[in-house]
Amino acid sequence: MRLDKYLKVSRLIKRRTVAKEACDKGIISINGKVAKSSSVVSEGDIIELKFGEKINKVKVLEIKEHVLKNEAKEMYEVIE
């Protein structure tokens, strides 16, 4: 699955366009490498989101096309 779509479906970022813009700015990385919005996300990947001083690290547990709001948090595990 594309990174921008995963971020939207998992609700780490509310909108896909915002996720794409964040990727273009270089504030999102997968496994330690700056990622483009078209980068492929796989189970077990570590995604790092940098928003100002705050850094969120999550591990991808599963990938689904459509998820209910209350099930979205099951798609990832917060590391930091």
Q: CA of 7: how far to CAs of 11, 30, 35, in Å?
A: 6, 12, 12
Instruction: Give residue-wise pLDDT tens across range 30-51.
Output: 999 999 999 999 999 999 999 8
pLDDT score of 51:
87
pLDDT band at 52 (very low <50, low <70, confident <90, very high): confident
What is the mean pLDDT of the segment spanning 1-9?
94
How far apart (Å, rounded) are the C-alpha atoms in residues 57 and 66? 22
Q: Is 37 helix (H, G, I), strand (E, B) or coil?
A: coil
What is the mean pLDDT of the segment spanning 13-33?
93
Q: For the chain, list the domains and their CATH numbers.
A: 3-78 (3.10.290.10)
Nearest to 3 by CA among 57, 43, 40, 58: 40
What is the mean pLDDT of the segment spanning 66-72?
91
